[in-house]
Amino acid sequence: MINIWCLTKIQLLSTFGLNKAWHTQDSKDKRKWVLLSIGILVGVAVVVAYSFGYSLILAQVFEQIGRMDLLLAIMMALASMFGFFTTIYKASGVLFGSKDYDLVMSLPIRTSHVVASRVLQLYVLNLFLTLILMLPAGVVYAIKVNPGALFYLFFLITLLFIPLLPIIAATLIGALISWISSRFRASRMITLILTMVIIVGMMMGSFRMNGSEQVLANMSTQLADMIFKVYPLTTMYVDAVCAYQIGPLLLFIGISVTAFILFSTVLGTRYKAIHTGLTTSRTSSKYVMRSLKTSSPFRALYSKELRRYFSSSLYVLNTSIIMIFLLVTSIALLFIDSEKLGKLLEIPQMSDYLGRMVPLVVSLFIILSCTSASSISLEGNHLWILKSSPVSKKVILLSKVAVNLTVTIPISIVSCLLLIVSLRTGWIESLLLLVIPVIYACYSAMLGVITNLRLPKLEWTSEVAAIKQSASVLVSMFLGFISIVIPFALLFGLSQVNSNLVLSGIAVVMLVICGLMYKYISTEGERLFQAL
């Protein structure tokens, strides 16, 4: 246990950059870390407030039917689902993608302990999300029900075990995908395809599940039966926390802990083989000499960035899964009438709202799919190669912008065309629906490059730290949200003004911002890049 704890602690300190922040003598780095911490705390406070409000709305519905226990059941299932989905595509990166593999495996530590420490790293990261969702729900439940003292004890105990089983299940699927892929030549591409198929399949399954109007409209016992049937541990959780039963509590904890131990032991026996299969390069037995091709510096750098992008399944999934969800949703809306959807969600004149808001909704998907916010950080200790290359640094940065646009613009255009058909928008609305997401794609791509120049994370052992947990990714996402929230507020605040005029004004403002960002990259980009 001591070995597992020490490895987990070191990995977490490295992931969040705490060790460097505590011991650095550079006041500039400390100031950046403090400002980033304040920003994260503000963001967490906003999410907690939103979670509390959502729990309060659910509590009012469940209070009317006398089933307050459903509040904790739904939030527990929701936390488990989020933990599962966010882990399934980053599990292989944490388990097998670390650069310190040789160093860790040379230590006198059991392989199962190494695996356990990496799964614990995923657990700690997802426990944070569980706390954000469950603590506000627990507060709302306590206010409405006024439970006994055992509720608070059992509620706090079970919080520690809620994320464990979903993470293990997701890690098991990720490890299985990686192991299957390692048996083939194009292992990375097969890993990417298999993970995509699983996630999209689950999305389609959720669409079919959410199609029950009775379940969504009434929020009654049918909803409880669905949750308890899909995820049986929810029944144990509700019996333990709401009914104060010791047996379900011990069973819930026992299943979670036993699954963790068995998983670490079993995966530990295949860990080295899977890692070797994933990292071993294969070459063709027959080499044919061909003529050497040349291209422009930009095209060569763009090809390099594109190959780097598709070489990491974690990178692709983390930045493209939202765009795939956008495409799946756009296809689904072809078969769902907007007025029926409005009645289901109890929103009158749903088609009018969608027609006004859909350009910004699509742009939100694009903001969440930024590849450039971590593109410089992923260079890691190979950044010196780009810095010493006889190429304009502006071209280097614009090649990273181009990859981002390659990921977002084609899917957004196809999705917008599908939405034009399903929503039957007019020609002005259709034009705005096509133009505004493209503008936001340019904005997001250049914003990602600028934030990554200002907040690089070049010292990482796992790609997860650079792709999901770096300061540049968080800041880029936050500024992207701001750029969407303000236009949303303007549309609601200026409801008396023609929405097409408001959206046109937003498009012009964003174009000006994009022009200023391009100028900044062209002038300050080279200096900032050389200073890295």
Give the span between the Cα atoms of 468 and 84, in whole angstroms: 16
User: pLDDT tier at 346 (50, 70, 90 boundaries)?
Assistant: very low
Phi-psi region of 118 (alpha: psi -120 to 50; beta: other; left: phi over 0): alpha
Query: Chain-wide mean pLDDT for the chain?
Result: 79
CA 213 to chain centre: 29
| Low-confidence winner among 330-339, 350-359, 394-403 (lowest mean pLDDT) | 350-359
Q: Is 413 exposed, middle or buried (0-12, 13-18, 19+ CB in 10 A)?
A: middle
pLDDT at 345: 45
Give the span between the Cα atoms of 190 and 491, in whole angstroms: 44
Q: Residues 47-67: what's their mean pLDDT?
A: 79
pTM score, two decimals? 0.71
Task: Using alpha carbons only, give the angle 422, 428, 432 rounded to the nearest 5 degrees.
Answer: 80
| Low-confidence winner among 17-31, 67-81, 210-224 (lowest mean pLDDT) | 210-224
pLDDT at 206: 47
pLDDT in tens, 458-515: 877 777 778 877 888 888 888 898 899 899 888 888 778 788 898 999 999 999 999 9
- Give the CA dihedral 324, 93, 45, 35, nearest 10 degrees: -110
Give the C-alpha distances (Å, rounded to integers) separating 88 from 126, 134, 192, 210, 468. Answer: 12, 21, 12, 22, 14
Q: What is the DSSP letter of 497?
A: S
Query: Is residue 62's pLDDT more than 90?
Result: no
- C-alpha R_g of the chain: 25
Q: How many CB atoms lie within 10 A of CB 300?
A: 16
pLDDT at 97: 63
Query: Is residue 301's pLDDT more than 60?
Result: yes
Most confident listed range (13-22, 272-281, 413-422): 413-422
CA 19 to chain centre: 25
| Low-confidence winner among 53-57, 95-99, 157-161, 321-325 (lowest mean pLDDT) | 95-99
pLDDT in tens, 387-411: 888 888 899 999 999 999 999 999 9
SS3 content of the chain, % helix, strand, coil (to 5): 80, 0, 20
pLDDT in tens, 86-100: 777 666 667 766 667
Greatest extent of the chain over all pairs of C-alpha atoms, in Å: 79
Higher-pLDDT residue of 35, 242: 242
